[in-house]
Structure 1
Amino acid sequence: MLIENMSMAFHAIRANKMRSFLTMLGIIIGIGAVIAIAAVGDSMRNLFTDAFKDVGLNRAAVMVSWEVDDFRMSDQFTRAEMDRIKDIFSDRIEYIDSNASNKVEAVNGRRKVSYQFQGVDYNYTDVQPLDIVYGRFLNESDVKGAANHVVLEDKGAIKLFGTADSVGRTFRMTLNKITQEYKVVGVYHKDMSPMVAMMLGNGQSQSGFIPDTVLTRSNDTFQAVNLYSRNGTNMRQLTVDLKQYVAKLKGRPESEIMAMSAVDQMGTMDAQLGTMSAAVGGIAAISLLVGGIGIMNIMMVSVTERTREIGIRKALGARTKDIMIQFLTESALMSACGGIIGVILGISLVKIGGTLLKMTVVVNPAVIVLAVGFSALVGIFFGLYPASKAANADPIEALRFE
């Protein structure tokens, strides 16, 4: 019986192809928009997760909030204080530095390249492994001696020197208002999508590493302490303990201390993206209501056009529920077909966008199943009244209908 009803439904849809397509258009647009928005939201969440993994999920930073009204120089950290933090939390902290960074212009002859240099300690690669393709990473003597040595990303080295293999080459740049020569001791390679690079601030500037003692040598204090925890450390508890310790160290209330971990930031960002996707998806889903009304309208027209057919079927023994199921099947099938087309359209748009932006697209299969199922339910819901009207038609009056 179901196969027969579906066959009749397909026949009715094919008989009025353009009208059926226009009826399904609202469902197609609604489902396509919902699928696209859900995929974009999931893809962005995946992108942020990758970005946080790139900087390290076991990363944290602590500082006196810059929003305090009476910020003083003593609120800055000294190297002695940073070393004390590392000693006290040595069972949970594997790496620590001054979180220093600087955006400068590197000059090599007529070539000028904007760089974002991150100040690090010699053991940075213990927590953030790098693919060194030429030379070496910064060593202990580079950091302790505040040597003018740098490690460049291969893309930046090509822009500055015309070749990735630039170990031993020198260039000029101005740090702390002092222009000096700097020597390349290593070149590394890092695979990163343009979107992640832009999110990490590497969209326009090239990246590189320099001893943090070089970035802070004109003033041996810094605003924040950057650290990486040991494996298995409870990051939330660590940030709480760091906040308490720094509050005592600086003589500040805990409310004026900022202690942030990558895990907390990722959780906050994920929640915000989830809320935004749900809100925008809800707005897009309104078009499903419009599509449902369109289905109800066309099914009412269909019932009127097929009044004589209904009368003949009833005269031949079709029951009220048979007529109702027939029209419900037609409206559900029309809506489901619109949903399937909408899914294909939504996924195609997102895939094309992902290809253009060179980012991985995440499409949740559960969302697809839910979208198609929901579109069918919309068809059934809005087909109830027309189907009921057809089912309750008087066979005698229906047979008289011209």
Structure 2
Amino acid sequence: MITLIKNSLANLKGHKLRLAIAFIWIIIGITSVVFVSSMGNAMSAVFKQSFKTIAPRAAIIYFEPSDDAFKTNQILFDPFSSSDVQILKTLDGVEKIETSDKYVSSTPTLGSSNDVYSDITYFDKIGSGAFVPSTDAKYKVTKGRSLTPADDGKRVIVLESNVVKDMFEDENPIGKGVTIKGLTYEVVGVLDSDTVYDPVEKGFKKRTPFDTSVPSSVVPEVSYNIISGKIANNSSINQVIVTVAEGFEISNVSDSIISELTSLHPNIMGEYKVQDRSSIQKSTEEMTKGIDKTVRLITIIAMVVGGVGIMNIMYVSVMERSKEIGIRRALGAKPRSILFQFLIESVFITTCGGVLGVIVGYAVTIYSKNFLPFKPIPSINTFLYSFIAIVLTGIIFGLVPALKASKVDPVKIIYK
């Protein structure tokens, strides 16, 4: 066996360029697997953290308007009122009720925690959007002007371009007034929704799928506090968070709350719905499973590509060394020895390439933390899984050319 290993290493040493190409194939495959897996770990961690913020015995009751509500402008009516909250507190199983002006989301978000959402109206046109305070915002203006410290306390807004397209179409929005939570704001600028600020490069870049920040309109800080509810402006309630008392089923209490709200607002166009910890957990688990499937698919593709490359290289090696194989067979070498020699070469290539791939993959993952919106999380399991997968790939894909080499007819080769 030691002789076989020495012969294998000597042969590989004589074909350095071929060996380098094989290493590049493997390193690219392993690096992509490690990086994508680390990204998946990071996204799963974010989703799970968002899930933990929901109290174990809490349910979020929200209202989903129907299409007719949008057509008749009934969406402008509040689906909840202060009196509703007082009535709901008297229901069996309700321990505590909190109100919020934010809109419920069916899945955890990766956006900025400063983003708040509200309806925007312009005459008969109704839209919605996210808002950030001018003190935190870095944005690129395509029309009009940006906000300045002199705008503090004024009702002015820099609308993001997606909202402008939906609400104003070809009309110039500058100088027009839009209504947000009962107050009118003058549009003084339009910001580019397709660009984001890169804190590393300290400049603006085109938005990519990896940029998870939400395109947001910009308002002065006082206006932001009004929209977000930090400063009371009106009694607008968009959802209620119900804490269910011990001994009561969350689903039963939620059903009774929805039934009560429906009876309190019999003519409202839409439906009251519930979102509890279990539904958010289900969404989180589905996302995590989707991420895992994507990682597995990329792993398989990377391993197949690397394996095909190794198999081709080993086939070339078998063809080049057919004379050598024939002579060794004529001198008494067993087919098993020939088979093991080529398998050793294949496994050696994949093992060394796998180690280099893990190192490069870890380096790329660590470096990517500087410019990604969330931090990739490399794991020992990923490294071991990738390493074992590539070694098995070397054995599987190296077996075919090794078998071909072991079945060489020495008579035909020598007298060819």
Judge conservation of contact 1:68–1:256 (CA < 8 Å) in 2: no
Within a 5 Å distance, the mapping from 1:258-337 to structure 2 comes to 258-261=273-276, 264-265=279-280, 267-272=282-287, 274-276=289-291, 278-279=293-294, 282-283=297-298, 285-337=300-352
Q: Which amino acid aligns with 1:365?
A: I
1:286/1:360 CA distance change after superposition, 3 Å: closer
2:114 aligned with 1:97, yes or no?
Answer: no
* SS of residue matched to 2:90: helix
**Alpha-carbon distance in structure 1 between the residues aligned to 2:356 and 2:102:** 52
Judge conservation of contact 1:117–1:209 (CA < 8 Å) in 2: no
* SS of residue matched to 1:361: coil
**Alpha-carbon distance in structure 1 between the residues aligned to 2:374 and 2:25:** 29
Structure with the larger helix share: 1
- The equivalent of 1:166 in structure 2 is none
Judge conservation of contact 1:96–1:227 (CA < 8 Å) in 2: yes
Give the drift of 1:55. Answer: 7.0
1:236/1:376 CA distance change after superposition, 3 Å: farther
| Corresponding pairs, count | 329
Over the matched positions of the two proteins, sequence identity in percent amounts to 25
Q: State which of 206, 211, 215 in structure 1 corresponds to 2:232.
A: 215
Give the drift of 1:65. Answer: 0.9
What do the CA deviations read for 1:141-197 (whole angstroms, capped 9, x no partner)?
xxxxxxxxxxxx9x86xxx9x9xxxxxxxx735574389xxxxxxxxxxxxx99xx9
1:326/1:117 CA distance change after superposition, 3 Å: closer
- The equivalent of 1:33 in structure 2 is 32
Judge conservation of contact 2:88–2:94 (CA < 8 Å) in 1: no
- The equivalent of 2:46 in structure 1 is 47
- The equivalent of 2:153 in structure 1 is 172
**Alpha-carbon distance in structure 2 between the residues aligned to 1:41 and 1:77:** 38
**Alpha-carbon distance in structure 1 between the residues aligned to 2:358 and 2:219:** 39
1:251/1:291 CA distance change after superposition, 3 Å: same
- The equivalent of 1:78 in structure 2 is 81
Give the drift of 1:334. Answer: 1.4
Judge conservation of contact 2:262–2:272 (CA < 8 Å) in 1: yes
**Alpha-carbon distance in structure 1 between the residues aligned to 2:264 and 2:95:** 19
Q: Which amino acid aligns with 1:278?
A: K
Within a 5 Å distance, the mapping from 1:62-211 to structure 2 comes to 62-70=61-69, 72=74, 76-88=79-91, 91-93=94-96, 95-99=97-101, 172=153, 174=155, 176-177=182-183
Q: Which amino acid aligns with 1:394?
A: D
Q: Which amino acid aligns with 1:368?
A: F
Q: Which amino acid aligns with 1:88?
A: L
Give the drift of 1:44. Answer: 1.5
Give the drift of 1:213. Answer: 9.0
Judge conservation of contact 1:100–1:216 (CA < 8 Å) in 2: no
Q: State which of 352, 356, 369 in structure 1 corresponds to 2:367.
A: 352
Give the drift of 1:234. Answer: 7.0
Q: Which amino acid aligns with 2:409?
A: D
Give the drift of 1:383. Answer: 1.7
Q: Quote the RMSD (CA, aligned, Å).
A: 4.7
Q: Which amino acid aligns with 2:83?
A: A
Give the drift of 1:247. Answer: 4.0
* SS of residue matched to 1:215: coil
What do the CA deviations read for 1:206-265 (whole angstroms, capped 9, x no partner)?
998779595353xx3533223456799976676555445544544489x92221235533
- The equivalent of 2:168 in structure 1 is none
**Alpha-carbon distance in structure 1 between the residues aligned to 2:154 and 2:246:** 38
Gaps spanning 5+ residues in structure 1: where?
102-114, 120-152, 163-170, 180-192
Q: Which amino acid aligns with 2:101?
A: N
Judge conservation of contact 1:324–1:390 (CA < 8 Å) in 2: yes
What do the CA deviations read for 1:88-129 (whole angstroms, capped 9, x no partner)?
266543x5124359xxxxxxxxxxxxx86799xxxxxxxxxx
Judge conservation of contact 2:34–2:361 (CA < 8 Å) in 1: yes
Q: Which amino acid aligns with 2:347?
A: A
Q: TM-score, normalised by structure 1?
A: 0.64
* SS of residue matched to 2:241: strand
1:204/1:172 CA distance change after superposition, 3 Å: closer
* SS of residue matched to 2:358: helix
* SS of residue matched to 1:322: helix
Q: State which of 383, 386, 398 in structure 1 corresponds to 2:401.
A: 386
Judge conservation of contact 2:94–2:253 (CA < 8 Å) in 1: no
**Alpha-carbon distance in structure 2 between the residues aligned to 1:32 and 1:225:** 46
Give the drift of 1:45. Answer: 1.7
* SS of residue matched to 2:370: helix
